[in-house]
Every structure is written in C-alpha cells, then in structure tokens.
C-alpha cells in the first residue's frame, strides 16, 4: 500500500493526545506478552511503513506506542487494555524499555 503517513501536524496532535492520556494514568506499560502481540499485529498490517516502523494511519512509531497501555491501534488491531485504579497493567522490565527500532516480527 502506498499511502502517505499523516502530516507532521496530524502526527503532533495524535502524539500530544496519547502523551496526555498516558501521563494522566501514571505512564502504565503493557506486559511483555501484550507488547509482542501488538508488534505482531502491526507487522501484519498493510498500513505499517516497515522501513521506518511507523503506522501509516496515525504516524506513530509503533515500537514505542505499542508499549503504552493507554494507546490503541487506529485500525482496532490491538486488544483493548483496561487502565485505571482497579487494573493497572504490569510495566515492562527495565531491560525491555527502549529496545532497538529494528525489531522485525511476523505472524
């Protein structure tokens, strides 16, 4: 698929919204299993720009957005994670944060 990524302004708006939601909830991360499943879903998506690992729909850097429990896929490919006072997801281990941007996964 040869669609363009969103404009810089659209990406900034999307990112700002995601950062606010993430911060409001205390910066929760998904579990390592949930993170890997999200990356598998992105790898199978026709909107992924694999050379730059960006979503063609929202413009996010998928390897970073996939870690945040408060974010969702614009195509509803990820399982929704309930975040709040009753059920906070487990944070990724320190060694798993900020892993290489060249992770390639497949189904």
Domain membership flag for residue 55: yes
The residue that leads in pLDDT, 3 or 68, is 68
Q: What's the rounded Cα separation, in Å, for the pair 12 and 19?
A: 10
Domain membership flag for residue 104: no
Domain membership flag for residue 98: no
100 pLDDT tier (thresholds 50, 70, 90): very low
Decide: 55 and 39 in contact? Cβ < 8 Å.
no
Domain membership flag for residue 37: yes
Dump pLDDT digits (tens) for 11-65: 999 999 999 999 999 999 999 999 999 999 999 999 999 999 999 999 999 999 9
Strand extents, DSSP E, 1-102: 48-49, 54-55
CA quadruple 11, 17, 72, 95: dihedral sign? positive
Domain membership flag for residue 107: no
Domain residues for the domain of 26 are 8-93
Q: Count up the domains in the chain and report the number.
A: 1
78 pLDDT tier (thresholds 50, 70, 90): very high
Domain membership flag for residue 99: no
Cβ within 8 Å of residue 96, ≥6 positions away: 32, 35
Domain membership flag for residue 102: no
Per-residue CA distances from 96 to 7, 20, 35, 74 (Å) = 30, 23, 10, 24
- pLDDT value, residue 3: 64
SS3 content of the chain, % helix, strand, coil (to 5): 35, 5, 60
The residue that leads in pLDDT, 98 or 66, is 66
């Amino acid at each position: 698929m040869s669609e363009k990524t969103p404009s810089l302004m659209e990406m900034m708006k999307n990112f700002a919204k995601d950062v606010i939601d993430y911060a409001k909830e205390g910066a929760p991360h998904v579990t390592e299993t949930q993170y890997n499943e999200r990356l598998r879903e992105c790898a199978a998506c026709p909107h992924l720009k694999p050379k730059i690992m960006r979503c063609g729909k929202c413009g996010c850097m998928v390897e970073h957005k996939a870690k945040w429990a408060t974010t969702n896929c614009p195509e509803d490919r990820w399982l929704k994670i309930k975040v709040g006072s009753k059920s906070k997801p487990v944070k990724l281990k320190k060694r798993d944060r900020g892993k290489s941007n060249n992770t390639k996964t497949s189904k």
